[in-house]
Chains A and B, each alone.
Chain A
């Protein structure tokens, strides 16, 4: 059932293929089981989990823009404990890699969530969403400061019983500097990019279209930004990189792989094309066939300059 050419490894974890569902676009995995064969999927990242359940932001939470959408969901989630007790047992029947996406509003929140998740069997890795405001430090976003991100990574690495993937925010001046700091703090892999902060205004009411004001831009519109950032990071950091941003086809995924990503995550495209992950897996196999590629791994960081 699996094309052996597509198998990859990240931080000691073997994936049947490099195609993963992105956090916040795949629910807790089970929600997708009616639409796709989860056993064919490389893996998926859960909706962001916090130590305690969260209600999220008042509506309107999403608005479509050109080539993408803005969201300010406010990280509504059932909490790490409920995930371990209610969702994990149901996920066990599927042969796919489960990555628990974790966030908090202070370093302690993150550690608490990780400690709860350490109790859960069958989680392959943690993905740290550092694009959250730190309430203890006046709301500055942890992932926007290399120092704060490194400090959190170090603490999380110590708490985590599993490989730690740190998910980078693109809303920084120098993504390579951030990546280096996080590598030095002990991350096992990096994923990028999270959404790009944006804003949309209804000119008739002169109010922001999102209740929260600003939101995160995702979808095809951000893909070139994401490809560039993956390229920059993979060049300076030897950790495995997972590419994310606007992927909707196998060709899009290959751009990231050639730029330096070992695997990819697909987000927004799941909304408008719920079977997109299956199509991308098939498309990668076809590409390998057509270009006589024995292992997708040989394409990672294979950009030609001339």
Chain B
């Protein structure tokens, strides 16, 4: 983990409301799929806190890209940065997707959760793991914004859904996942990142079929490196108090075994 100042190479808008930010670093990194960075405009005053973004692509040892949805003040501030602008960056942070014992992979991306799994798909392809991708988005624009072109270019089995049917299958991404798991019962590991409600459902679908599932979680973060204890999720281990205990998304995650999470206690309000 290092705290450094990066320079914006470019900050493209693949679709309205989405951005692809490419940063140049003086340092070289070896990013593991699923790791993230805390970013904010250098010398910016508002907002104060850095924002967590998954590393979407590693273009070279010193160049990384981030795909993000413009939601509020923090991502809006990032969206305004042009080539040459400076960015405060803390990285690499968090654990990573575990691929060690994966005979067959099913990757379920919902919305901009795709940003956390492109490198995972690349890795699975390199390792020649039999991989099926399910990519869900709200509509065609959102699918474009969430990098559908990059996923198609992987040339792996991919099925796409949109909530409004404007691109791919009409409906939620969990429908083709359910069908797939019922048809193909070979041992598999499910990897998912997306909105809380979607991941909760993916976890449930996997649990009912006794399929191992990992989810990369989101929570608003204060620091990103473990000291503020603000970004917690409720987990099933019953220590140290009766309520159950909490784990930090930033340093204990962001990837967790889905059956560890108490999905009924949301990590944030949506």
Contacts and interface: CB of A to CB of B under 8 A. Distances in A.
B228 A73 contact: yes
A31 B250 CA distance: 13
Given A24-B228, A61-B230, 16 more contacts: A35-B225, A56-B246, A59-B233, A59-B265, A60-B220, A60-B267, A61-B229, A64-B73, A66-B46, A69-B48, A73-B229, A76-B246, A268-B222, A271-B50, A271-B227, A272-B48
Contacts, number: 114
B70 interface: no
A137 interface: no
Interface in A217-261: 219-220
A68 interface: yes
Interface in A145-163: none
A207 B269 contact: yes
Interface in B75-94: 88, 90
B225 A67 contact: no
Contacts of B230: 61-62, 71, 73
17 contacts: A24-B229, A31-B226, A34-B225, A35-B3, A35-B225, A53-B239, A53-B240, A55-B245, A56-B232, A58-B243, A60-B269, A62-B231, A64-B49, A71-B230, A73-B229, A79-B240, A272-B40
Question: Which range holds the interface residue count of chain A?
Answer: 35 or more
Contact of B227 (A32, A61, A207, A219): A32
A240 B142 CA distance: 58
A270 B227 contact: yes
Interface residues of B, number: 38
A27 interface: yes
B54 to A, nearest CB: 19
Interface in A178-209: 202, 205, 207, 209
B246 A271 contact: no
A133 interface: no
Interface of A: 24-27, 31-32, 34-35, 47, 52-56, 58-64, 66-69, 71, 73, 76, 79, 202, 205, 207, 209, 219-220, 268, 270-275
Nearest to A62: B230
Contacts of A35: 1, 3, 225
Given A69-B48, A71-B228, A270-B227, A62 B220 contact: yes
A27 B245 CA distance: 18
Contacts of A62: 220, 222, 228, 230-231
B223 A274 contact: yes
A63 B227 contact: no
B158 interface: no
List 4 A-B pairs, minimum CB-CB distance, nearest first.
A62-B230, A55-B241, A27-B227, A53-B240
Contact of B244 (A55, A271, A275): A55
- Interface residue SS majority, chain A: loop
Nearest to B48: A272
Nearest to A26: B227
A59 B269 CA distance: 9
A59 B49 contact: no
Contact of B48 (A64, A73, A207, A274): A64
B3 A59 contact: no
Interface of B: 1, 3, 40, 46-50, 73-74, 88, 90, 219-220, 222-223, 225-234, 239-241, 243-246, 265-269
Contacts of B48: 64, 67-69, 219-220, 268, 271-272
A274 B219 contact: no
Nearest to B220: A62
Interface core residue of B229, B233, B234, B266 (most chain A CB under 10 Å): B229
A263 B240 CA distance: 35
A93 B19 CA distance: 45
Most chain B CB within a 10 A radius of its CB, from A53, A64, A71, A271: A271
Contact of B234 (A26, A27, A59, A205): A59
Contact of A55 (B47, B226, B243): B243
A202 B49 CA distance: 19
Contacts of B74: 64
A205 B268 CA distance: 13
A67 B49 CA distance: 10
Nearest to B3: A274
B246 A64 contact: no
B241 A60 contact: no
B50 A272 contact: yes
Contacts of A207: 269
B252 to A, nearest CB: 12
A205 B49 contact: no
A4 B223 CA distance: 32
